[in-house]
Amino acid sequence: MSLLPLLNERFAAALAQVGAADAQPLVQAAGRPEFGDYQMNGVMGAAKALKRNPRELAQQVIDAVALQGIAASLEIAGPGFINIKLADAFLAERVETALQDAHLGVPQLPRQTVMVEYSSVNLAKEMHIGHLRGGIIGDALARIQAFVGQDVIRQNHVGDWGTQFGMLVAYMVESSKTGNAALELGDLDSFYKKSKVRFDEDPAFADTAREYVVKLQGGDPEVLALWKQFVSVSMTHCNAIYQKLGLLLTDADVRGESFYNDDLPVLVEALRAQGLLSESDGAQVVFLEEFRNKEGDPAAFIVQKQGGGYLYATTDLGAIRFRAGELKLDRCLYVVDARQALHFQQLFTVARRAGFAPAGMQLEHIAHGTIMGADGKPLKTRSGDTVKLGDLLDEAEERAFKLVSDKNPELDEASRRAIAATVGIGALKYADLSKNRGTDYIFDWDAMLSFEGNTAPYMQYAYTRTQGIFRKVTDWNETTPIQLNEANEHSLALELARFGDVVHQVARDSQPHFLCAYLYSVATAFSRFYEACPVLQDGQVNVSRLKLCRLTGKVMATGLDLLGIKVLETM
Ligand code: ARG
């Protein structure tokens, strides 16, 4: 069991003993070191419910709680908080066990099938800055769920269907007549722009495009073959970005909107049969009483347009049916821009009402904010264009290369390039993950590439320090036990023993910035420890401290890996 659940369990039992069985123990990591290692905040609520004096009740809880051998001291503070200091011997045993454990002391959670849907780009265009956050956050969440023992299904719900694909296919046919379609496809954005120009300027072209949409939806083999060719070129471009960014996504994770095409009429009929459909301006809609507009009218969730066409929302209903019926998910995380929040609220409501998503299947919109420029508006290039993801990643590596070259001019270029890729991409990802995902943030190259503060370069450098010592000490007796005698040893061990608490919190709430904040506190605790507590002195190795270094390195490398960030042995 991780530390938090262990302490909560013991305090819940103590509360029950003093007549407050319903009260929540509310244990949390201490806000400040002077409050101890953990604090128990549940007494005030319990005292209020029982109409008792909180400090008196706190004393009774302390007398009742079974923490012998776990806590070194329990103290009442303020109106009735209980400050908990863990025993050195107990912490030493926890870190010792963690060091031997493949999961570093992080318990596995009850096994569930969890989908993390992320990236989900529209294939008509090139990937741009708007795809960065979802990709990075989704990938971290998928890694974390797997680490705590979940059956993870990564899903890339790409936009590969709809009217624009008729236009693109029409342009493929047209440009292949002039002989350079393949070449033109190399630049997706300009291909899209040119086909849009043709669509807008030439009614005959537009008619052909619309005809292709119908043929595509009807499964016409020739049009389908052209469409597949387009999708494959576009996916190749995405895969190159995923690889450079170090995302786990592969072709096996792609299940695009087109996949649900055949189910759309079926599900609309299912809604109709249940009496959930109404007609509104010729469209088929589900009215949602719980979402009213300013005029007090219920929202209309459109599932079929006038004329019979289906929409993004219809496809999402199809996806839920598949995920519930075929994949039997316990939990589905949609890592998508916060601006789609209303869509997801309504989608989930309709899916529940129609029985497409059973009550036991958790549906969560993991919303993320937007990346802003220094002007506080969504980040653009200097000329005001959308920032292409490929260009951004190149720039990250280029900037890191300059930095690395300044620091290590004596290294050969290939090594500097390799380090720069790890540092540059790491910096970009860490800068994103360390922010609260729900809010916007301002993009800042200098801040993310700084070697100080809560940044990837700082963390990566801190990791190399934990490893440096093992190049000096090779021969040591692993069976020598860990002993915590000094305050800095205790603080570091406490941080290391908290890994499970933090990973479980992120697995539950999908907020990776808590893992970043945690790793940063591990790094700072290590730094203080390393300065105050010599590992090597007068040719003698302090094995207990060496083992703390080893676990620190493992926790940092594993924690960063859960965020999708690589480490280096030297830099
Ligand atoms: N392709 C969509 C877009 O770019 C995002 C899809 C999100 N996922 C979903 N199931 N709706 O806006």
Instruction: Provide the residue type at 32 as one letter.
Output: R
Say if residues 512 and 142 touch (Cβ distance below 8 Å).
no
**CA 323 to ligand 1 center in whole angstroms:** 16
Write the pLDDT tens digit of every residue in 310-369. Answer: 999 999 999 999 999 999 999 999 999 999 999 999 999 999 999 999 999 999 999 999
Q: In terms of Cα–Cα distance, which of 445, 571, 435, 570 is closest to 516?
A: 435
For ligand 1, the distance from its centroid to the CA atom of residue 138, given in whole angstroms, is 13
Q: Are the beta carbons of 7 and 39 closer than 8 angstroms?
A: no
Q: Which residue, judged by its Cα, is nearest atom 10 of ligand 1?
A: 316
- Percentage of residues of the chain with pLDDT beyond 70: 100
Q: Which residues of 21-31 are buried (b: 16+ CB within 10 A; e: fewer)?
A: eebebbbebbe
- Residue 175 — very low, low, confident or very high, per pLDDT cuts 50/70/90? confident
Among 115, 119, 120, the mutation site with the greatest number of ligand 1 atoms within 8 A of its Cβ is 120
Note the pLDDT of residue 208: 94
Of 128, 133, 312, the residue with max ligand 1 atoms within 8 A of its CB, to mutate for a pocket test, comes to 312
Mean pLDDT of the chain: 95
Please tell me the predicted confidence (pLDDT) of residue 289.
94
Are the C-beta atoms of residues 91 and 497 closer than 8 Å to each other?
Answer: yes
156 Cβ below 6 A of ligand 1: no
- Block residue for tokens 């940092």: 556
Residue 49, pLDDT > 90, answer: yes
Q: Does domain 3-86 have CATH number 3.30.1360.70?
A: yes
Q: What pTM does this model have?
A: 0.96
Q: How far is the CA of 117 from the centre of ligand 1 (A)?
A: 9
* Residue 522, both tokens: 């591990």
- At residue 163 the predicted structure's pLDDT band, cuts being 50, 70 and 90, is confident
Atom of ligand 1 nearest to the CA of 343: 11
Domain coordinates in residue numbering, the chain: 3-86, 163-255
Q: Residue 517's pLDDT is what?
A: 97
Give yes or no for residue 120 CB within 6 A of ligand 1. yes
Task: Name which of 214, 221, 106 is nearest 562 in CA terms.
Answer: 106
CA of 209 to the centre of ligand 1 (A): 23
Q: What local confidence, expressed as pLDDT, does residue 511 receive? A: 98
Lowest model confidence (mean pLDDT) among 64-73, 171-180, 191-200, 378-387? 171-180
Q: Which ipTM did the prediction report?
A: 0.99
Q: What is the pLDDT of residue 431?
A: 97
pLDDT at 129 over 80: yes
Residue-wise pLDDT for 208-230, tens only, equals: 999 999 999 889 999 999 999 99
Q: pLDDT category, 126, cuts 50, 70, 90?
A: very high
Question: What per-residue confidence (pLDDT) applies to 181?
Answer: 73
For ligand 1, whether the C-beta of 159 sits within 6 Å is yes
Whether residue 334 has its Cβ less than 6 Å from ligand 1: yes
pLDDT tens readout for residues 251-302: 999 999 999 999 999 999 999 999 999 999 999 999 999 999 889 999 999 9
CA of 469 to the centre of ligand 1 (A): 47
Question: How large is the average pLDDT for residues 58-82?
Answer: 97
**269 CA distance to ligand 1 centroid (A)?**
24
Q: Label residue 33 by pLDDT band (50, 70, 90).
A: confident
- How much is the CA Rg of the chain, to the nearest whole Å? 28
Residue 180 has a pLDDT of 75
Per-residue pLDDT at 182 exceeds 80: no
**Rounded CA gap, 105 and 89, in Å?**
16
Q: Is 141 exposed, middle or buried (0-12, 13-18, 19+ CB in 10 A)?
A: buried
